[in-house]
Amino acid sequence: MKRKRLFFGLVVLLVLVGLGVYAQHEHPFDFRLFGQDFLRADWKLALIGVGCIYLGFVLRALRWALLLRANKRVAPLALLGAQVMGYTGVALIGRLADLTRPWLAARKAGLPISSQLAVYVVERLFDLGTMALLFSVAILLGGASLPHPEIFRRVGEWSMAATVAGAVFLVLVRVAGGLVAEFFQSALGVVSHSMAHAVADKIRSFREGLNTLRSFTDFLGALALSVAMWMLIAAAYILSTRAFGDPPLHGLTLAQGMVLMASSGVASAVQLPVVGWFTQIGIVAGVLIRFFGADPESATACAATLLAVTFLSILPVGLVWAQVEHISLRQIADESTHAGEAEAQPEPVTDAAQY
């Protein structure tokens, strides 16, 4: 598996190098201007952005503690280290280390990994829903600042509709998860019995995860923390972009910032170790050039700064924290991946259980 990942990473790196050589041949990149954009940037705004990201980690830890309360009450910031070290692992190792956070949280709280995987699922649902909600609102209210606003407005409307539909579905799963699972199993059974059972099992797993929200007050608390956290992340994107003097960047609007943040999120969905940094810079720079009309040099400098502020700025704290607690992020990433795979495997059915 490691050899396959290494081979895939090398292939991606070679493709990026090839594209870079081709782009340099077709449209020469002015490295002198690129350096000047860095020197002229207002780094105070970028540092404020780093502060927003750090505060976002605090809110993320508070939200995890709130979702954990159904199983065990912990101090509000007891799981801050798990969040910081977990995202440090993702930045260095890639998305394969994404389960590091529930693994570290389970160790810290003294709970089984299965309980933390349930919290992880609910946390991801809140992230996706909150991001979609903020994106939709920003596009619908300020989409006029975007190129082809009618297209983005339609995207915002569909995104809002999908968010509402997802929220309704989750409420149904939370209230009557067994009935919802049986409905989909019956409906999909005419197409494929294996697919029907798989979908039903996933719905039941979601139902178990949603048990972390024991009351409507818990839901509102988690939602409020999610909205505040993603607003801080959006602020970090907007401030870091406005740090550059190029007019399309310095005058970035909220709607443009949400588009930029969404494109960065898509670019980081399949994060490869180190190589993924350059793919993310390339994709974000491409959005700044094509949609906002920024110069290639300014766009690349801005994209690199956004990566450093929103994704890599936690590395120093995370590495120091791991050293203090004598934790190997590589080892934890491997162990958490194996644990997650084991939890995902269905338990063997005994003869007695078949009747």
pTM of this prediction exceeds 0.85: no
> Tens of pLDDT along 168-198?
877 787 778 788 888 888 888 877 888 888 8
Q: Which helix or strand (DSSP H or E) is residue 13 part of?
A: helix 2-26
Give the DSSP letter of residue 60. H
The number of beta carbons lying within 10 Å of the beta carbon of residue 199 is 17
> Tens of pLDDT along 266-309?
777 666 666 678 888 888 888 898 888 888 889 999 999 999 99
> Tens of pLDDT along 118-166?
888 888 888 988 988 888 888 888 777 777 777 777 877 787 788 788 7
Min mean pLDDT across 72-76, 93-97, 111-115, 257-261 is at 93-97
Give the DSSP letter of residue 354. G
Here the tokens at position 149 are 């606003």
Is the CB of residue 24 less than 8 Å from the CB of residue 296?
Answer: no
Which whole number is the average pLDDT over 212-239? 91
| 27 phi/psi in degrees, rounded to 5 | -135, 90
Q: Which of 303, 316, 301 is nearest to 277 (CA)?
A: 303
Cα separation, 60 vs 102, in Å, equals 13
Mean pLDDT of the chain: 81
- The 10 Å CB-count burial string (b at 16+, else e) for 243-273 is bbebebbeebbbbbbbbbbbbbeebbeebbb
> Tens of pLDDT along 32-54?
888 888 888 899 999 999 999 99
